[in-house]
Copies of this chain bind each other. A is one copy, B any other.
Amino acid sequence: VNTGRGEAAAPVPAAQSTTIKNKVLLPVERLEGFCEAVLRNAGLNPYNARLVAESLVFADLRGIGSHGVTRLSGYLGRIRAGVMNLDPAMTIEADFPASALLNAKNGLGQIAGMKAMALAMEKARTQGIGFVGVKESNHFGTAAFFAMKALPHDMIGLVATNASPAMAPYGAKTPLLGTNPLAVAIPAALQKPIVLDMATSLVARGKIRLASLTGQKIPLGWALDAEGKPTEEAKAALAGSLEPIAGPKGAGLSLVIDLLCGVLTGSTLTGEVKNLVTDNSGAAKTGHTFAAINVAMFLDPGEFKANIDRVILRIKSLPSTVEGSSIYLPGEIEANLETKRRMEGIPLSVEVLAGLSELAERYKVPKL
């Protein structure tokens, strides 16, 4: 068992999985390999299959089960429905010294996201900052996955995406805005990097979808049903709308992210992105934006990262609201969980595992 104090723990043998409290613990490599095999058999090329598998398992490693391997079935459903392009011939539609517009040609969001983030970093290297918009894309997993790619290059990564309607504009009844998340990753020296990845809704819709999948109730205040009434039922919430963070502020942030990701990229107007799971009537037309800020343009990266460490330690040494409990920085709990799960394996519920078994049969891959 990983104690969280840096002591080595015995990893779960690769060929074996452990069952705890209705959950099965799966070794990371095995889960990643499974997703990769399914995606390859679905027709993705090896590089892209590996990339998408890594993106999904990254989410499960960090405790974001809503964006993990549970999404695989939705992706494959879109591919089977013929509304997502397996091997997109992406094009750069606009190219300025510090910015570019990438047409994802309706491929998986992860494929476009990796290319766009790399392009933003390449531009930031010489220009100071790089900004890349992506049009005609699809769900890309978690925003943090791409923002964190900036960290080893001593850059700050900023990533946003729009999403299908889930949240009403402030003062309106009808969901038109997506949960439109924003991620910012900032490198540290010896401490864990700061990684903020937040939906502009009070909770990510994926959490409600996961609750719906596992039959759990949701707390009052998370969402409204289709009649605009507060609800504890996950299914009713999925048919209604999510509450934004802090009313007009969250709804405003979500709108602004949509205008940048959807309207500025020429992908869609607000309210037109198609839902990954429930709407296979055509291309999703998701839009994203990726930015990289080169720390070296302003100050020595070593000095910057040492200063980030100082801030982290300063915050962690403040008196806690709950006596004796630790203060965690954005991304710290996720990083701790990732360390633990790389050692112990990733816990998946039997329901999620049953879904993966169906995929195994359909795509002729050995079951997990």
* Chain A interface (Cβ < 8 Å from any Cβ of B): 94, 96-101, 123, 126-131, 133, 156, 168-174, 176, 184, 186, 194, 196, 198, 202, 228, 245-246, 248-250, 252-253, 255-256, 259-260, 263-266, 269-271, 291, 293-295, 297-299, 304, 307-308, 310-311, 314-315, 318-322, 325-330
Contact = CB atoms under 8 A, between A and B. Distances in A.
Nearest to A101: B298
Given A184-B256, A256-B196, A314-B270, A173 B98 contact: no
Nearest to A333: B248
Contacts of A172: 315, 318-321, 327
A208 to B, nearest CB: 16
A295 B94 CA distance: 11
Number of copies: 2
A155 to B, nearest CB: 11
Nearest to A307: B263
A328 B171 contact: yes
B99 A127 contact: yes
B307 A269 contact: yes
Contacts of A128: 94, 96-100, 131
Question: Chain A contact residues: over half helix, strand or loop, or mixed?
Answer: mixed
B252 A196 contact: yes
A269 B310 contact: yes
Contacts of A293: 99, 131, 260, 264
A269 B314 contact: yes
Contacts of A318: 168-169, 172-174, 176
Contacts of A253: 196, 198
Nearest to A224: B321
Contacts of A298: 94, 99, 101, 133, 264-266
Of A186, A245, A263, A329, most B-chain CB atoms within 10 Å = A263
A327 B171 contact: yes
A207 to B, nearest CB: 14
A310 B98 CA distance: 29
A321 B228 contact: yes
A315 B297 CA distance: 41
Contacts of A256: 184, 186, 194, 196, 330
A315 B246 contact: no
Given A171-B328, A173-B321, 8 more contacts: A97-B127, A99-B127, A99-B129, A99-B293, A168-B318, A194-B255, A246-B246, A246-B250
B202 A264 contact: no
5 contacts: A170-B328, A171-B322, A174-B319, A264-B293, A264-B298
A224 to B, nearest CB: 10
B194 A327 contact: no
A259 B331 CA distance: 15
Given A295-B264, A297-B101, A307-B269, A186 B259 contact: yes
A263 B127 contact: no
Contacts of A129: 96, 98-99, 129, 131, 291
Contacts of A170: 327-328
A252 B315 CA distance: 12
Of A101, A295, A320, A321, most B-chain CB atoms within 10 Å = A321
A17 to B, nearest CB: 32
A308 B258 CA distance: 11
Given A263-B307, A319-B172, A245 B248 contact: no
